[in-house]
Amino acid sequence: MKVIKAANYVDLSKKAAALIAAQIIRDPSSVLGLATGSTPVGVYSELAELCGQGVIDFACVTTVNLDEYCGLPAEHPQSYAQFMRQKLFDHVNIAKSNTHLPDGMAKDAEVECLRYERLIEGLGGIDLQLLGIGRNGHIGFNEPGESFAPGTHQTGLAKDTLDANSRFFGPGEKVPTQAFSMGIGTIMRARSILLIASGSDKTWALDKTINGPVTPQVPASVLQFHRDVTVIYCD
Ligand code: F6R
């Protein structure tokens, strides 16, 4: 694991965007695994800027997102599909047909999870997976538990995650309690992984991820077993 301390959030965003840009320059047909949440917002705006300057070209890039809330249609303001459009896809020259997320409205969860796994497989796997990390050490929506999920699955969100995510929802709006998420196996099959973390509320999770025992109680700790992980963090 390469661990890089950034000076601040802007520096973190620039450094992470530079690594993603390098991946796209090396392979213009890259498959990028993407994350939502507040941490990658700066990275996405840096990527949009690099694209505007002609440094990177998204024309042949494909993206697969980590997760989506169950029960929210793609047009819902709080859906991750909408988040990705607002923060990245609408600002770069990516073909919308090359952007993929689990379908939060899928009727049959099992079929949807299988479809998503097959889709990633069919794309030849993920070249670079961007990850945020939850305060409890979750990645994607792989919450602390008894085992590591091998593939995309439907999962309940931990109380801490619901509390953290409620900030994105208006008063009286219900935070979805279920999501589709890539599994730990899906994430670990990515050829390279870039984990970003900002702020002191992530210190515990980051310390356990880098230095702690590998345990499903801290899902991100499994990244110690991956051969190409870069962690960029700031206080
Ligand atoms: C989002 C995701 C989550 C977030 C994590 C951190 O797609 O998979 O694991 O990365 O909850 O969220 P923020 O960045 O909002 O602290």
Task: Give pLDDT tens digits for 41-100.
Answer: 999 999 999 999 999 999 999 999 999 999 999 999 999 999 999 999 999 999 999 999
**Residue 35 Cα to ligand 1 middle (Å):** 7
- pLDDT at residue 93, rounded to an integer: 98
- Determine contact, residues 39/72, Cβ cutoff 8 Å: no
**Closest residue by CA, ligand 1 atom 1:** 36
In this model, does residue 150 exceed pLDDT 90?
Answer: yes
Q: Which residues are catalytic?
A: 67, 136, 138, 143
User: Can you tell me the distance from the alpha carbon of 31 to that of 191, in angstroms, rounded to the nearest whole number?
Assistant: 10
Overall average pLDDT of the 165-192 stretch? 94
What the block records as the tokens of 157 is 């969100």
Instruction: Tell me the pLDDT tens digit for each residue of 215-225.
Output: 999 999 999 99
In this model, does residue 168 exceed pLDDT 90?
Answer: no
- pLDDT at residue 46, rounded to an integer: 98
**Closest residue by CA, ligand 1 atom 12:** 37
In this model, does residue 214 exceed pLDDT 90?
Answer: yes
What is the torsional sign of CA 164, 167, 173, 178?
negative
pTM: predicted TM-score of the whole model, two decimal places:
0.98
**Residue 140 Cα to ligand 1 middle (Å):** 7
Overall average pLDDT of the 178-195 stretch? 98
Q: Which numbered atom of ligand 1 lies nearest the CA of 35?
A: 7
In this model, does residue 171 exceed pLDDT 90?
Answer: no
**Closest residue by CA, ligand 1 atom 13:** 37
> Of the residues 130, 133, 165, which should be mutated to test ligand 1's pocket, given the most ligand atoms within 8 Å of the CB?
133
Q: Which numbered atom of ligand 1 lies nearest the CA of 131?
A: 10
The binding-site residues of ligand 1, defined as CB within 6 angstroms of any ligand atom, are: 35-39, 66-67, 132-134, 138-140
Which residue, among 98, 14, 84, 22, has the nearest Cα to 49 in the 3D structure? Answer: 14
- pLDDT at residue 85, rounded to an integer: 98
**Residue 138 Cα to ligand 1 middle (Å):** 8
- pLDDT at residue 172, rounded to an integer: 85
User: Can you tell me the distance from the alpha carbon of 182 to that of 44, in angstroms, rounded to the nearest whole number?
Assistant: 21
**Residue 196 Cα to ligand 1 middle (Å):** 10
**Closest residue by CA, ligand 1 atom 15:** 37
- pLDDT at residue 98, rounded to an integer: 98
- pLDDT at residue 24, rounded to an integer: 98
In this model, does residue 151 exceed pLDDT 90?
Answer: yes
**Residue 66 Cα to ligand 1 middle (Å):** 9
Instruction: Tell me the pLDDT tens digit for each residue of 107-116.
Output: 999 999 999 9
